[in-house]
Amino acid sequence: MHMLDLMSSIIMEGDGVTQELLDTILINLIPAHKNLNKQAYDLAKTLLKRTVQTIETCIASFFNQVLVMGKSSVSDLSEHVFDLIQELFAIDPLLLVSVMPQLEFKLKSNDGEERLAVVKLLAKLFGAKDSELATQNRPLWQCFLGRFNDIHVPVRLECVKFASHCLMNHPDLAKDLTEFLKVRSHDPEEAIRHDVIVTIINAGKKDLNLVNDQLLGFVRERMLDKRWRVRKEAMMGLAQLYKKYCLHHEAGKESALKISWIKDKLLHIYYQNSIDDKLLVEKIFAQNMVPHSLETEEKMKCLYYLYACLDTNAVKALNEMWKCQNMLRGLVRELLDLHKLPTSEANTSAMFGKLMTIAKNLPDPGKAQDFMKKFNQVLGEDEKLRLQLEQLISPTCSCKQAEQCVREITRKLTFPKQPTNPFLEMVKFLLERIAPVHIDSEAISALVKLLNKSIEGTADDDDEGVTPDTAIRAGLELLKVLSFTHPTAFHSAETYESLLQCLKMEDDKVAEAAIQIFRNTGQKIETDLPQIRSTLIPILHQKAKRGTPHQAKQAVHCIHAIFHNKEVQLAQIFEPLSRSLNADVPEQLITPLVSLGHISMLAPDQFASPMKSIVANFIVKDLLMNDRSVGNKNGRLWTADDEVSPEVLAKVQAIKLLVRWLLGMKNNQSKSANSTLRLLSAMLVSEGDLTEQKKISKSDMSRLRLAAGSAIMKLAQEPCYHEIITPEQFQLCGLVINDECYQVRQIFAQKLHVALVKLFLPLEYMAVFALCAKDPVKERRAHARQCLLKNISVRREYIKQNPMAHEKLLSLLPEYVVPYMIHLLAHDPDLTKPQDLEQLRDVKECLWFMLEVLMTKNENNSHSFLRKMVENMKQTKDAQSPDDPKANEKLYIVCDVALFVIANKSTSCHLDSPKDPVLPCKFFTPPDKDFINDKEYLSPEAKLVLQTGKIQQPPKQTGVLGAVNKPLTVTVTARRPYMKTTASDTGSNASTNSQPISPATNKSRDVSSEASETEARENEENPVITKAGGVKKEEAAQPSGKKRAAPASDGTENSVSSNPSAGSQPPANKPRRGRPPKNAAGVATPDKEAGDPASTASADPVGVKTPKQQKEAEPKRVTPQRQIDLQR
């Protein structure tokens, strides 16, 4: 101590500190010397603390020469300046009061490596546990934060790494860091985005309060990153936080509530296309959300309450996950069954198809194919391995047995001398997907016990954050889903007793789910559990007669599925219901109609005669052809389900009954299908008001149009009825996708997509999506494009995976949709003047909407195949009107537009096509050898418009005469030009990532804006013209030639406001179904079958009588049209 006092006195009382003396003191702080001589370090440290006031100036001078002036020769310690600064700061920050501004100068150096060194230093100074540098030196802190945006990648990376220590040691600085981490979470460098996630997750693991909602939001965004490494880190990080704070409740309920969204967002990732994402979600679910290592009771409690807390989309994702795993189990089961058959070429081919499908469900499908072939070879050689795999996928396999099987199979495929075994890793992926690690008989029993506790009120539902009602409903839904994938696990008296209690509950949804579970799992009830059978039968009868429509449907199907004497049971329901039908009480009709419809579909022969009488005398004559009540004239085109009148609900069910009845018969021997199709067509032609008495409201008409269009589409899924649907009826059905009501378009498009993607509908119905190019709502166009992409990929994949599909290319190959599309567009009611430039541009948009998706890749020279197909069409005639020159001219013009589009978008379309396309004879006549059509139907001006998308507008008139002679652009027929809506105008959830139309056509969508001067609302029946001075009433009644806009989906789009000045302006004639012709010349003779309800034969069971009003209107009938006319 005496020496220290002496040295302190010399420094403090002397004239100054020489550089040599300073070096002597500071050299002991350098890490190398510090570790060698601890006593010297302690002495130097204490000396500096005592002499801080005196020596600070000398230290500042030294660092100034080295850092600012760059004089490294002043001292041998110059190369250790950053180490010295760190040590001096740890000893006493006052020693560096004058040095810190010099560091700020260094942070702005032009040398990236120099900036990196300063950033590393400051990261240690700012991030130190007790450091107050950030609050004491705000300018330096702000300058340091600026380095988060440094051009040099290592500097940005260092800043991000620093953020983790800073968040942990200085939570008060989180607000400053948040904005800079947000920018770096979108950094172009993958490593930086990855480290942002690691930084936030590590801080969150230490203490969830260290990370705010914004920081967690950055991690959530990165779950959709384009790089797998980043996505994986984000998903795994959030899963770990969920397990720690929500599952184990390590920080209480508040923390669990803060990140309760994680479970939903993780499951939403299952919607992504990447198989890696799907597999990671399955892994996270099994390890972090419902850990399979838990005991059965605890595991099922976790699943029970998780399912009750998930949002709708997450529930769907979880259901889809179980469905995919079950499908994969089925594929492996089918593969093992093939191994039991004798070796043959057909067997080998079938095996190969199964292996390819399995490989698609594993990561890296290319490598997976090779590994699955190898695995299949091992299976063929090792019988014990096959038995283990059979036990794993057996419906009776328990979770414990599954774990044991996986271990055994893995052990047999392990090669000790091989450190990495990618083959084994791939097999593990397969085993993880097919092994039942959560659900078995014991698990179902545990779930049922939890459900019973919720029903009895003894469960801790409130503690888990759900109400008892929510828990019961979600529990039944969960059991319902599992009844599809694990039906064998339900077969116990205890389980069925609990379900019977659910059937007696007042909650309709609960009872419906319980019936569905019985239907899916009760095949052995009649033989094994007679007590359950005797209790179940009267309940099912009661639900079929007086339950909700959904309960009635499930009850009928349940009886049909699980009872041997189903004919007797169904007859006991059918007879009293058929006698009690009364159209004057529509409220009591809906459930009977549902039950009768499903009974007639399941047992058509048993009830053929009484159903024919019911259909002819009650369904058609008494119910559909009469309007007993006056609809609510609220002016809206759509109303909520609970606001629809009972009569219309009964009519909708009546239409569905007709369809179910026909689907049960599956033949047209009695010509009932023809009559039904004419009835449905008449419904569409009359806009939903079949009687034309104008009693029915606009919203109810929308419901009936949707029901009629959906019914035709449903019948088309049955081959015997598809054959008799005429082209006119097909066109009427397709035009529903352009309905004036947004919800009709939306629901119809979704039904169309689902039926097509399952390959239920013929290929021609995919052509209907081309009409979506005219939809004014961007989200609807984007959704339609996604539907097209999905349908085309499904068909291409089906052809690849099924060798037999090559014999049915006409009905499967996506390119064969083009003839149907061209024929449909040639009969579009909008195409009234084939040489009109606006109309041609509309046709081009529709064609390109489909062709763009088809021509994405030129597989098998498909572009030349398309060109040849369209050229062949020009050598035929329209089979619908072969002798009508105008109809054929329209067809040829659409063909020329298609050829123009194909030639403009492809450089290889002029090559020779190796295949000769075949055209559908239902729509095109056979080519006539004597007929050569080499005429070009497009004028140079039309080609220019199609090329540029722009129409040259004539110069506007000015002055008084211009104002007087200005043509009227909107009439009182409620038509106006379409104004394109944006995402903010609609409530649609459709993805808008990809544009559904070409850039050239985008420009053309805003041309028709002139008519907005009238301020007439889109869905008004009789809009008041507010800005069209000098217009006579006679002029106002004439068609305008502009298209009508379809509504957006914001909830107010479907209102039809009444005209306050109806007395001063007579209402226009109500147009027929579809888009009105552009002018009077567009009116044509209607098709009798499609448009005339009277044309149905009275002897047919679905005979339709034309009401008086319809007979009077018959001479004025125009071509079936759509109410909606969509934006170009």
C-alpha distances out from residue 691 to 497, 507, 679, 1090, 1114, Å: 50, 38, 12, 16, 13
Burial of 740 per CB tally in 10 Å (0-12, 13-18, 19+): buried
- Give 2 or 506, the one with higher predicted confidence: 506
The predicted-structure confidence for 103-125, as pLDDT tens digits, reads as follows 888 888 888 898 999 999 899 88
**Does position 413 have pLDDT exceeding 90, yes or no?**
no
Is the predicted pLDDT of residue 775 greater than 80, yes or no? yes
| pLDDT mean over 779-804 | 89
Digit-coded pLDDT (tens) for 876-887? 999 999 999 999
Higher model confidence: residue 51 or residue 380? 380
| Alpha helices, H only, 669-777 | 672-685, 698-716, 719-722, 727-734, 742-757
Closest CA to 594 of 535, 639, 657: 657
Q: How far apart are CA 514 and CA 483, in angstroms?
A: 10
Has residue 252 got a pLDDT over 90? no
C-alpha angle 885-888-890 in degrees, rounded to nearest 5: 110
Those residues with Cβ within 8 angstroms of residue 455's Cβ, 6 or more apart along the chain or in another chain: 468, 472, 501, 502, 505
pLDDT of residue 906: 67
Q: Give backbone dihedrals phi and psi of 878, rounded to 5 degrees, phi first.
A: -70, 115
Q: How confident is the model at residue 1024 (pLDDT cuts 50, 70, 90)?
A: very low
Angle in degrees, CA 507, 510, 515, rounded to 5: 125
Q: Is 598 exposed, middle or buried (0-12, 13-18, 19+ CB in 10 A)?
A: buried
The Cα 723–Cα 899 span in angstroms is 30
63 pLDDT band, cuts 50/70/90, is confident
Rounded to whole angstroms, the Cα distance separating 43 from 1118 reads 106
pLDDT higher than 50, residue 1045: no
Residue 370 tokens, joined: 């090779």
| Predicted local confidence at residue 908, as pLDDT | 61
* CA angle 365–369–373, rounded 5-degree value: 160
Q: What is the mean pLDDT of residues 596-620?
A: 92
**Confidence band of 667 (pLDDT split at 50, 70, 90):** confident
Residue 787 reports pLDDT greater than 90: yes
Is residue 994 within 8 Å of residue 786, measured between CB atoms? yes
Contact of 706 with 1123, CB cutoff 8 Å: no
Backbone phi, then psi, for 924, in 5-degree steps?
A: -130, 140
Distance CA(623)–CA(690), nearest Å, equals: 11
The confidence score (pLDDT) of residue 1114 equals 42
CA–CA distance, 858 with 865 (Å, rounded to integer): 10
pLDDT digits (tens, 9 = 90+) for 954-1011: 655 544 333 333 343 333 333 333 343 444 343 333 333 333 333 333 333 333 333 3
pLDDT higher than threshold 70 for residue 480: yes
Q: 907: pLDDT confidence band, cut at 50, 70 and 90? A: low
- The answer on pLDDT for 653 being more than 90 is yes
Whether the Cβ atoms of residue 705 and residue 687 lie closer than 8 Å to each other: yes
Mean pLDDT over all residues of the chain?
81
pLDDT score for 910: 62
Copy the structure tokens of residue 113.
């490596």
* Per-residue confidence (pLDDT) for residue 935, from 0 to 100: 85
Q: What is the four-CA torsion angle of 612, 617, 622, 625, rounded to 10 degrees? A: 70
What lies within 8 Å, CB to CB, of 91 at 6+ separation is 29, 45, 48, 49
> Coil, helix or strand for 540?
helix
- How far apart CA 775 and CA 724 sit, in angstroms, is 30
Q: Tell me what the mean pLDDT of segment 447-456 comes to.
A: 90
Please compute, for residue 758, the number of CA atoms within 13 A of its CA located in the half-sphere on the CB side.
10
Closest CA to 822 of 897, 876, 880, 748: 897
Confidence tier at 36 by pLDDT (50, 70, 90): confident
Taking 50 as the threshold, does the pLDDT of residue 520 lie above it?
A: yes
What percent of the chain shows pLDDT beyond 90? Answer: 49
- Which of 303, 318, 329, 497 has the alpha carbon at shortest distance from 397? 329
What secondary structure does DSSP assign to 376-436, as a single string? HHHHHH-HHHHHHHHHHH-TT--HHHHHHHHHHHHHHT--TT-S--HHHHHHHHHHHHHS-
pLDDT at 980: 39
674 has pLDDT over 90 = yes
Q: Is the pLDDT of residue 232 over 80?
A: yes
Mean pLDDT of 568-576: 93
pLDDT at 651 over 50: yes
| Architecture category of domain 101-194+207-215 in CATH | Alpha Horseshoe (1.25)
| pLDDT at res. 76 | 65
Q: Which helix (H) or strand (E) holds 374?
A: helix 365-381
**Would you state the pLDDT for residue 949?**
72
**Burial of residue 914, with CB atoms counted within 10 A of its CB: 0-12 exposed, 13-18 middle, 19 or more buried:** exposed
Query: C-alpha 179: how far from its chain's center?
Result: 31
536 class by beta-carbon count within 10 Å (0-12 exposed, 13-18 middle, 19+ buried): buried
* Statement: residue 804 has pLDDT above 80: no
Q: What is the pLDDT of residue 165?
A: 86
In the structure, what pLDDT confidence band is assigned to residue 304 with cuts at 50, 70 and 90?
very high
Query: CA 533, CA 525: separation in Å to the nearest integer?
Result: 6
Q: Quick check: 754 pLDDT over 80? A: yes
Instruction: Residue count of the chain, please give it.
Output: 1128
Q: What is the pLDDT of residue 2?
A: 61
**Rounded average pLDDT over 458-468:** 83
pLDDT: is 219 or 1027 the higher one?
219
Q: Is 653 helix (H, G, I), strand (E, B) or coil?
A: helix
Read off the pLDDT band of 329 (50, 70, 90): very high
Q: pLDDT band at 191, cuts 50/70/90?
A: very high
Residue pLDDT, tens place only, 260-278: 999 999 999 999 989 999 9
CB 666 within 8 A of CB 608: no
Percent of the chain with pLDDT over 70: 80
Q: How confident is the model at residue 663 (pLDDT cuts 50, 70, 90)?
A: very high
Task: Please compute the mean of the pLDDT values over residues 369-390 and round it to a whole number.
Answer: 92
**Alpha helix stretches (DSSP H) within 1068-1107:** 1088-1091
pLDDT value, residue 904: 83
Q: Is the pLDDT of residue 681 over 70?
A: yes
For 808-864, the pLDDT digits (tens) are 888 888 999 999 999 999 999 989 888 888 889 899 999 999 999 988 876 666 787
Buried b (16+ CB within 10 A) or exposed e, 977-1007: bbbbbeeebbebebebeeebbbebbeebbeb
Q: Per-residue confidence at 772, pLDDT binned at 50, 70, 90? A: very high
Identify the residue with better confidence: 45 or 967: 45
How confident is the model at residue 996, as a pLDDT?
36
In the predicted model, is pLDDT for residue 1085 greater than 80? no
The predicted-structure confidence for 202-213, as pLDDT tens digits, reads as follows 999 999 999 999
Under DSSP, the state recorded for 440 is S
pLDDT in tens, 621-650: 999 998 888 877 778 899 998 889 899 999
* Amino acid 5: pLDDT: 66
Q: Report which listed range, 170-174, 993-997, 1057-1061, is most confident.
A: 170-174
SS3 (DSSP) at 53: helix
